[in-house]
């Protein structure tokens, strides 16, 4: 499968997923306004890299032809827009649409609605377990504690003492 086929497939699958998952971003004006901002910077960065000769494409795998070493590709035409191959634009569109579709879908399902701050998860787990065990169980470090709390070891016990004293 060539880059052209992959780019067209990714863009088509992203649009179908957007419609089937009922996020319908492609039908909203706000999506296209924000995408215009994104594509401007994509064209700018891709154009600089491709137009300066830093990145070369093989003409067999993209719509446009490849340009010989040292020759700048066309700015517009031959499958390019602002030096960037159409495939790069399609692939960028697919990545943006997929990420926003999944963001909205997971947001509707309540995935991580409340942002969390504070200590890492293993510290919170150690503190939770330390608070539920008796003094002798905590000192022995074994009874009634899950593996994550046992791994916290002496550090977890010190944290638990700090919590108990405050």
List pLDDT tens digits, range 45-99: 988 888 787 877 777 778 866 666 667 777 787 778 887 888 889 999 999 999 9
CA distance 87 to 42: 12
Residue 116 inside a domain? The answer is no
Instruction: Answer yes or no: do 102 and 125 share one domain.
Output: no
CB atoms within 10 A of CB 110: 8
Residue 54 inside a domain? The answer is yes
Instruction: Answer yes or no: do 21 and 62 share one domain.
Output: yes
Domain that holds residue 134: 121-165
CA distance 158 to 151: 13
Instruction: Answer yes or no: do 96 and 158 share one domain.
Output: no
Q: What is the pLDDT of residue 15?
A: 96
Instruction: Answer yes or no: do 22 and 61 share one domain.
Output: yes
CA distances from 123 to 14, 127, 150, 164, 166 (A): 39, 6, 11, 15, 17
Assess whether pLDDT exceeds 60 at residue 33: yes
Mean pLDDT of the chain: 77
Instruction: Answer yes or no: do 104 and 133 share one domain.
Output: no
Bigger pLDDT: 165 vs 22: 22
Q: What is the pLDDT of residue 35?
A: 92
Q: What is the pTM of this model?
A: 0.62
Q: What is the pLDDT of residue 20?
A: 94
Residue 113 inside a domain? The answer is no
Residue 17 inside a domain? The answer is yes
| Intra-chain end-to-end CA distance of the chain, in Å | 62
Overall domain count for the chain = 2
């Amino acid at each position: 499968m060539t880059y052209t086929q992959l780019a067209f497939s990714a863009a088509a699958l992203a649009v179908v997923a957007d419609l089937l998952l009922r996020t319908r971003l492609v039908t909203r004006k706000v999506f296209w306004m924000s995408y215009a901002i994104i594509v401007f910077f994509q064209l700018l960065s891709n154009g600089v890299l491709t137009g300066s000769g830093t990145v070369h494409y093989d003409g067999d795998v993209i719509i446009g032809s490849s340009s010989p070493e040292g020759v700048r590709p066309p700015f517009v035409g031959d499958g390019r827009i602002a030096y960037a191959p159409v495939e790069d634009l399609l692939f960028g569109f697919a990545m943006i649409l997929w990420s926003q579709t999944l963001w909205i879908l997971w947001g509707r399902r309540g995935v991580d609605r409340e942002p969390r701050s504070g200590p890492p998860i293993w510290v919170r787990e150690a503190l939770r377990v330390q608070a539920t065990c008796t003094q002798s169980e905590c000192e022995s470090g074994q009874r009634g504690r899950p593996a994550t709390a046992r791994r916290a070891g002496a550090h977890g016990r010190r944290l638990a003492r700090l919590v108990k004293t405050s």
